Structure 1
Amino acid sequence: MRKRTVPRVSVTIDGRSARIRPGTSVAAALLEQGRWDFRTDPVSGTARGPYCGMGVCLECEVTVDGRPAVRACIERVREGMSIDTSAGEVGP
């Protein structure tokens, strides 16, 4: 019996390379990599992550390929994508 291989695409998450199944949401990709905190609220400084999972609440916003405020729960990964979760973090 031949083992079935699942195709993967290469993405960069906060400067680190990852191999993710194509068509996976950015949120699922981040969760798969052990990331629950997608950004830091610029006002309160609290960690934010997925909440509604359908693009309504905006808690999972990340920067994708230089585009800020992309909802990770509705954006799909693609080959070569760069995902940055540091946008919105409160500086020192």
Structure 2
Amino acid sequence: MISNESGRFTRLGEQDRPRFIFSIDGQPAEGRKGDTLLVAMLTQIRRLRSSEFGDGDRAGFCLMGACQDCFVWTDTGERLRACTTPLAAGMRIATKVPEQAWPSLA
């Protein structure tokens, strides 16, 4: 289980909400019912993804679905906005575009 001590966010309240297990890059993580994917991820890790343009780690910017800074992927390649996607038990999230999501150029 990913340690929540390494997260960017610290959960101060609502400790009694039901817990969900999901995964980040194949590692088990824990979130709570009612969390967005962004909140659940950032209580566990310090970033959502690395910028595809080389300007560093990304952890969301606007937090309301407008900026596209919080995109993450499912393990099957579906792109999600972490700030507006509700956490669901068993989600398998990738912080990089999964290889199978890239089109074949051959």
- TM-score scaled by structure 2? 0.68
**Runs of 4 or more above 4 Å deviation:** none
What are the Cα deviations for residues 12-48 of structure 1, in whole angstroms up to 9, with x where unaligned? 111111221122001001111032x211222225211
Q: Aligned-pair distance for 1:82?
A: 0.7
User: Residue 51 of structure 2 corresponds to which residue in structure 1?
Assistant: 41
From 57, 64, 74, the counterpart of 2:67:
57
Unmatched tracts of structure 1, length 5 or more: none
User: Residue 26 of structure 1 corresponds to which residue in structure 2?
Assistant: 37
Would you say how many aligned residue pairs link Structure 1 and Structure 2?
Answer: 84
Q: Which range moves more in the overlay, 15-24 or 59-68?
A: 59-68
Distance in 2 between residues matched to 1:66 and 1:23, nearest whole Å: 24
Is contact 1:10–1:19 with CA below 8 Å preserved after alignment? yes
- TM-score scaled by structure 1? 0.77
1:17 aligns with 2:37: no
- Larger RCO, structure (CA 8 Å, separation 6 or more): 1
Secondary structure of 1:74's counterpart equals: coil
Unmatched tracts of structure 2, length 5 or more: 1-14, 99-106
